[in-house]
Amino acid sequence: MRDLSENHRWLSINTATVRKAHGQDVPLAAIFDACARKGIRAVSPWRDQVAAMGLKQAALAIQSLGLELSGYCRGGLYPAVDAAGLQAHIDDNKRAVDEACTLGAPCLVIMAGGLPGALVGGKAQHPQSKDMPRARAQAAEGMAATLAYAKSCGLPLAIEPLHPMFAADRCNINTLEQALDLCDQLDPAHSGAIGIAVDCYHVWWDPKLEQQIARIGPKRLLAFHVCDWMVPTTDMLNDRGMMGDGVIEIPSIREMVEAQGFAGYCEAEIFSTAWWNRSTQEILDACIARVKTAV
Ligand code: ZN
């Protein structure tokens, strides 16, 4: 297991972690600059932030600041009420693949989607269908189509299982086992073209955690996201904790993924209204401190 206590060379900042400061949106260019000034070597940006900055400008900034990417957030959200809707989502995922390649991302993170029509403009609402098996089949179909395209560009897809509390609106792939079954189905040769993003927040509770992480293997372990689970949790989406403030034994999960050969970035991904009310400096300083002591 790597020693992270000396420096923060293996810290990556998911740009959602610092998308706001003092409650106000922070432009992606300012986030990149702030990370570079703190000696943070990698980031994982979001599509909406990249679109606001401009894809070319974002790629240039990443290059000129010498930043690496630990991922690109995100593709997925496949389920739809009809075939045309599913195809539109697949087309959008192909655009996400292109963007990830332009930015030099090592993988595109895939959040499968929940029930059709349950997430509009990032907000949850009553879905257009309650057929979960069909929604899951559509997610698999969408991923297969995206995978065929991503392979032609050499970009791996990282399926991120989300905590079951998000099954209806955001992601109907809710355990590592389910995600790995899908990897086996879509890529029986274990080529690494499709793998897993392990996010501590979403998988820490799983009784099969150790068993399923052991099943991932080095080729399929594409990203490792860290934050903490607060007790009590006051908001399903935006009350994630800074590493060390909650109940997740993050180092033990890191030990499991590193035992599989993972040697990449620990990506701090913290959606938190409480942290977004602080300054960018404070948030980044806390991530730097905690990656050394609590990851
Ligand atoms: Zn994540």
What's the gap in Å between 160 CA and the centre of ligand 1? 7
Q: What is the pLDDT of residue 56?
A: 98
If you measure from the C-alpha of residue 243 to the centroid of ligand 1, how many angstroms do you get, rounded to a whole number?
13
CA–centroid distance, residue 47 to ligand 1 (Å) = 14
Distance 232 CA to ligand 1 centre (A): 20
Task: Find the radius of gyration of the CA atoms of the chain.
Answer: 18
- How far is Cα 262 from Cα 217, in angstroms, rounded to an integer? 9
Per-residue pLDDT at 99: 98
The angle at the Cα of 20, spanning 17 to 21, to the nearest 5 degrees, equals: 110
Both tokens assigned to 197: 């993003």
**CA 264 – CA 41 distance, rounded (Å):** 12
Cα 48 to ligand 1 centroid, rounded to whole Å: 16
Distance 268 CA to ligand 1 centre (A): 9
First to last CA, the chain: 11
Q: Which uninterrupted H or E stretch holds 49?
A: helix 47-53
List, for the chain, all residue ranges whose pLDDT scores fall below the cut of 70: none
Q: How far, in Å, is the centroid of ligand 1 from the Cα of 225? A: 5
User: In angstroms, rounded to a whole number, what is the distance separating the alpha carbons of residues 96 and 109?
Assistant: 10
- C-alpha triplet 239, 26, 248: angle, nearest 5°: 25
pLDDT value of position 218: 85
C-alpha–C-alpha distance, residues 12 and 268, integer Å: 6
Angle at 43 between CA 259 and CA 16, to 5 degrees: 105
